[in-house]
Structure 1
Amino acid sequence: MTEDLIVRREGAAGRITLNRPKALNSLTLDMVRGMQKALDAWRDDPEVRIVLIDGAGEKAFCAGGDIRRLWESARDKDGHAETFWREEYILNAAIKRYPKPYVALIDGITMGGGVGVSAHGSHRVMTERTMFAMPETGIGFFPDVGGTHLLSHQPGEVGTYLALTGARLKGADVIYAGGADAMVDAAAIETLAGELCAAAYTAAAHEEVDAILDAHAIDPGLAPLGDVKPAIDRCFAFDRMEDILAALETEESEFAAETLKTLGQKSPTGLKLTLAGLRRARAQSLETALTMELRMSVRCLDSHDFSEGIRSVVVDKDHAPKWNPPTVAEVEDAAIEAFFAPLGEGRDLSFG
């Protein structure tokens, strides 16, 4: 147990609680390391049959990484950001391939790094309070923590739309977009957690977790995203950001107009970088995508828009970033390609 991360055994479960409610449970390097240590210890412990992760408080599961600390690292060139991303991405891959049920109770705000420690799990449970988003293009960045892999494998071009716009999802849309498997009432979360911990699991623990979740699941209703998916598929099917914007301009609908307005507020470099990463990730395994993402992340440390985006949102909070280049048309393809070059000197990501 630490101040920011509570790790304990409860019945048949290894439990992890992200414990920074005042910071919306945003992740620090120590929290990432604590989670990795717990997962490693529980992997071969016969007394631990499942892993259960949640967030303290009622506002957030996890709103992402500590981006102010990343901004400071970019400013000070102290190496912290690269170390954080490297260990975070290794954790994301470990969650994906974990042999025991990994149950994420994603109650409240779930963004960025919070998606990384939940969406790769075997069982993702949301509530009516869940708000899911990958808003990184708004800070000159891209959906990392395996986000390029997750979003590039969603139905049609829904993932492309979510990655570029940073759209905030609730209700059935979260399940539709692949961020959760089931929905339960927030008031039932503690009861559900208690049953998951108290169950007498056999060798079929995954199926037994399924049964417990099914007993608590509620109907999330229809997903509004489904209504606009045809327009999303038409407009976001292109490999060039310029073509996506042109398609939206000719779509002539309220959805297209609102989407154009939203994209106009994002970092042009972030938009082009995100689209390029998504298209590459379509044919990649999660580990390969994470290796690519580390290259992209490290290069963002030296980019203007990453520091400027965080400054505008978190540091000065004026929400008036000055992007450079200021338009999509002015972002050169060669500049985007440079983000994907190997890091060299043994710095590229490797998995044990």
Structure 2
Amino acid sequence: MDADMVEAHHATLKTFASQHDIAAILVEGVPRAFCAGGDIKSIREYALQQPYREDPPINHPVARVFQTEYNQVCDVARCPVPYISICTGIWMGFGVGNSAHGDVRVITEDTLFAMPENSIGLFPDVGFAHIGATMPGAIGLYLGLTGKRLSSPEDLMYTGLGTHHVRVEQLPSLRDALVREPQERHSDKAKTLRQLDGILEKFQEPGLAKPQLAKLQPLIDSCFMPALHHRDRGRTAPQALDDIALDLLTIAQTNERPEAKQFAVETLESLQKLCPMSMAVTLCHFAAVYHAVRKGTGPLAEIEGVMEQEYALAVRQCGRGDFAEGVRAVVVDKDRNPKWNPENLSDIQENDLDAMFAPMPPGKGLRLDFLDPL
């Protein structure tokens, strides 16, 4: 979605939630209703046509996209009526922001999830760090850093990304049932959700196998959990990322289990292709949100605080050369050979990384415009 499309969608959501009599908002994934994510080519063009070194004003086209996207993320999370997402097909980027903070996420055997922003010089945004902080162990950081694709319903349900598993052929009947069956709208959203859950359970696919992620959980935690505590361990973000790579290399070289070796080799290969600054930003951000959510304290424990931080990170990342270069390599020229700056983790300056997380100047930060309560 470009800036105009995102703003139009945001306005529609506000109108629907405040005026509609139906008790739930349904959004659907590719290919029926929304794109998989934001239009990164358009954002790249905005940044190239109107480059900036300092934080941009909120009417800059890059700022407009993230102002509206991140407001919508908060609106989904705080929607006063039940918000139901049918997440089938490609489910990535802003498509995740449009849905994963809602009350119900229906996934299917065709759902393909990923947050691959580190491969284009951005970072996994739309509040995914807040979602990842509630996942088992260090799986949230693992998915955020690597951009790992999840396509099995078992894994999607295990992470909590999916709340219900429904077969694709059942979706038309599910949509009809959700829309047509009479619902009583309550000021207490939980009561309406209980009504809707009775409908959803009729279509729930039973008997999921053991998730692959559950089998890999000990390996994921052994490699990625220390990085979430890197500050307490006296390690910088680049050093902690190097530690992850070393742990993966050790598993690949010494572990005799084929599945462990495969996990280590594939994960290491994925990390080696990503933007160094993006990975460092991701680790710092996910670690801070993880601790805030787990402790239940501080601005980052709430989605609004996360989005305010992510707004600063997003506009600053887009102002860097890495974002334009990453999008060029992946979706414009498609040579898959980006030239990152800095090229290596060891070349990242601590003050440059700190500057990414500095508070936005007055009048340039995220302006939140919430949905009206019931």
Q: What TM-score, normalized by structure 1, do the two folds share? A: 0.88
Alignment RMSD, CA only? 1.6
Structure-2 residue corresponding to 1:262: 270
Structure-1 residue corresponding to 2:44: 71
Paired with 1:315 and 1:44, the residues of 2 have a C-alpha distance of 40
Identity %: 36
Structure-2 residue corresponding to 1:19: none
Structure-2 residue corresponding to 1:45: 19
- Offset at 1:245? 1.6
Paired with 2:353 and 2:86, the residues of 1 have a C-alpha distance of 36
One-letter amino acid matched to 2:212: P
- Offset at 1:332? 2.1
Structure 1 moving runs of 4+ over 3 Å? 55-58
> Structure 1 residue 313 and structure 2 residue 330: aligned?
yes
One-letter amino acid matched to 1:115: V
The superposition leaves residues 23-73 of structure 1 with CA deviations (integer Å, 9 ceiling, x where unpaired) of: xxxx23233222322232233336232111114636x86321000001101
5+ residue gaps, structure 2, are 52-59, 231-239, 253-260, 293-299, 370-374
Structure-1 residue corresponding to 2:244: 244
Instruction: Name the SS of the counterpart of 2:319 in structure 1.
Output: coil
Check conservation: 2:40, 2:327, Cα contact below 8 A.
Answer: yes
Paired with 1:248 and 1:327, the residues of 2 have a C-alpha distance of 18
- Offset at 1:306? 1.0
Structure-2 residue corresponding to 1:178: 160
- The partner residue of 2:203 within 208, 216, 234 is 216
Structure-2 residue corresponding to 1:274: 282
Equivalent residues in 2 for 1:304-343, closer than 5 Å: 304-343=321-360
Paired with 1:62 and 1:251, the residues of 2 have a C-alpha distance of 38
Paired with 1:316 and 1:46, the residues of 2 have a C-alpha distance of 44
Higher RCO, Cα 8 Å, sep 6+:
2
- The partner residue of 2:3 within 14, 29, 33 is 29
- Offset at 1:278? 0.4
One-letter amino acid matched to 1:111: M
Q: Which has the higher strand share?
A: 1
Check conservation: 1:61, 1:110, Cα contact below 8 A.
Answer: no
5+ residue gaps, structure 1, are 1-26
Q: 1:56 to 1:231 in 2, by over 3 A?
A: closer
> Structure 1 residue 62 and structure 2 residue 35: aligned?
yes
One-letter amino acid matched to 2:175: A
Instruction: Name the SS of the counterpart of 2:19 in structure 1.
Output: coil
Q: 1:56 to 1:260 in 2, by over 3 A?
A: closer
Paired with 1:205 and 1:105, the residues of 2 have a C-alpha distance of 18
> Structure 1 residue 155 and structure 2 residue 136: aligned?
yes
Aligned residue-pair number: 325
Paired with 1:309 and 1:201, the residues of 2 have a C-alpha distance of 47
Paired with 2:359 and 2:170, the residues of 1 have a C-alpha distance of 47
Q: Which has the higher helix share?
A: 2
Instruction: Name the SS of the counterpart of 2:48 in structure 1.
Output: helix
> Structure 1 residue 190 and structure 2 residue 207: aligned?
no
The superposition leaves residues 219-245 of structure 1 with CA deviations (integer Å, 9 ceiling, x where unpaired) of: 343211111110000100113212222
Check conservation: 2:117, 2:123, Cα contact below 8 A.
Answer: yes
Paired with 2:179 and 2:5, the residues of 1 have a C-alpha distance of 22
Tell which deviates more after alignment, 124-133 or 77-86.
77-86
Paired with 2:125 and 2:275, the residues of 1 have a C-alpha distance of 16
Structure-1 residue corresponding to 2:217: 229
Q: What TM-score, normalized by structure 2, do the two folds share? A: 0.83
